[in-house]
Each structure stands twice: as C-alpha cells, then as structure tokens.
A = this chain, B = another copy of it.
C-alpha cells in the first residue's frame, strides 16, 4: 500500500518530503544562533574564568545516544505492534469471510457489511473522528444505534456474534462450526483490545520528558564546548550534531502515537480500503473501490 520512493542514494540526501527536517528547523536555527553567540562571546567569558571543554560532553553525548536508542526502539516497537494489529485485522476478516462463504454462502454479504463496519469504526474510534458516514454506508439505519455507544466498535462485533448465534439457533450450523467461527471473532476482539491499549497507554510520560530535556540542554550547551577547539567551524558541527539528536527525538515522538494523521503514522484509510477490496472481491462483487495510492508527497492517510 505504501510506496517508498526507491530513489538513488544521492537524490535521497536532499529529500525534503518525508523527513522530519521541517519540524525541527526552528530549533536548529536556535542552535545556530547559540553557536554564533558562543563564537562572539568566547573572549569575553573566558576572561571571566568560565570555560567548557568537550570531554564531559562526549561522555554525556554518548549516554544520551544510548538512552535515545532505547526510546527509539520502544517507540518503534509500538508502531510495529500497531501495524501488526491491522495486519491481523485483515487476516481475521479474510478468515471469517472465507468461513462464512464456505458454510453459509447466502449470508456472506451480511458478514461482509458487519466486518467492514468493524474496520471503519475502529479507524474512526482510534482517530477520534466521526464514523457516521462510513457506518451508514455499511449498516444503513442500524448505524444510528451504534454511533452513540461508548464502545461502538465492540458493539459491532457483538452484532456479528449475535448473527452467528442465530445461525446456530436456527440449526444452520452445528456447535462445532459455531465454535470454529467464534474463535475467529476472538481474533477481532484481540485486535480491537490491542489497538485500544496502544492508543491509551503512551510510553511513560517521564521518559519523553527526560530525554526531551537532556537533548535540548545538551544541544544548547554544546556550542560553548565546541568553540574553544573549532572556532569558526562551531556552527557547522554544532548544527550537525543537534540535527542528529533532535530529529531522532522528534521521530520517536511521532512513532509513539501511531494512530494519527502525521507523515509517519499508519495509513489507516488505505488499510481499510484494502480490506474492503479484499472482502468484496471474495464476495464476487464487481464494482470494487479504487485502491488508494500515495499522493505526490508520498503520503497516504
């Protein structure tokens, strides 16, 4: 679904879209200003007996790099887990649809509607957007009954479960087949519960705070430590080091909350669209929706 611009390594050096550069430009500017202050004031504050050397910053920088590395793997793990949940959603939907087609093919259409309502509702719930349009598309008037619920997505799954129970009560399917399909409904519950967990449990706030502060303080003091050695080259090196640390900090923060609209968030619109195409095609429907493609800025929503 996401197409990565597989461009040449040289062109990639100057890519603007997709990088976190725009978001930290102002802070890099501040760092540049600080470097210039350091150069011009060096004589004055050294005469006061104040000096900074690079050695303690080396120790501190490596320590911060280690902790940043830890925070990055933690945030990336959340991003990966979120993506896996959505992958599992596709898998569960395909399985349920497949079983419905195998066991009670005449009802498969209805299962599709409920499954798609589940997916779109989960998307809207995670993003905090209004699900009315999408739910009406799949459930018609029943959508209203769901929209004002506290846990709407869970309620849609309950309806799938009720439908299944009805088939069993009518003698359409045996207890064994019921159990078999019910276990795939458990998968849906797991996907939903897992996504809700990720959305409601951030990385402990203090981690972000702590690294944020140390990274900023480090970048602010750095020029003063570099200037005795590097003099006029201070801005180049200082901005370069700050860029490395600030952009990793910023990127970690974006990945920490993967259910948003930012560049590096999950393209849930495209994933819902993909599930819709899959389920409908299994149903032998003809007028499938268009697959979504990244826009000119390589972005999918």
Copies of this protein in the complex: 5
A164 touching B102 by the CB < 8 A rule?
A: yes
B1 touching A200 by the CB < 8 A rule?
A: yes
- Rounded to whole Å, the gap between the CB of A42 and the closest CB of chain B is 13
Asked whether any CB of chain B lies closer than 8 Å to the CB of A291, the reply is yes
Asked whether any CB of chain B lies closer than 8 Å to the CB of A131, the reply is no
Which residue of B has the minimal Cβ distance to A83? B201
A161 touching B102 by the CB < 8 A rule?
A: yes
Asked whether any CB of chain B lies closer than 8 Å to the CB of A60, the reply is yes
A151 touching B281 by the CB < 8 A rule?
A: yes
Among A44-52, A116-124, A132-140, which stretch is in contact with chain B?
A: A44-52
Asked whether any CB of chain B lies closer than 8 Å to the CB of A259, the reply is no
A87 touching B193 by the CB < 8 A rule?
A: yes
List chain B residues, Cβ under 8 A from A70.
Answer: 69, 72-73
List chain B residues, Cβ under 8 A from A19.
Answer: 205-206, 209-210
Taking A70-B73, A102-B165 as known contacts, 4 extra A-B pairs with beta carbons closer than 8 A to each other, sorted by chain A number, are: A51-B229, A56-B226, A184-B186, A214-B243
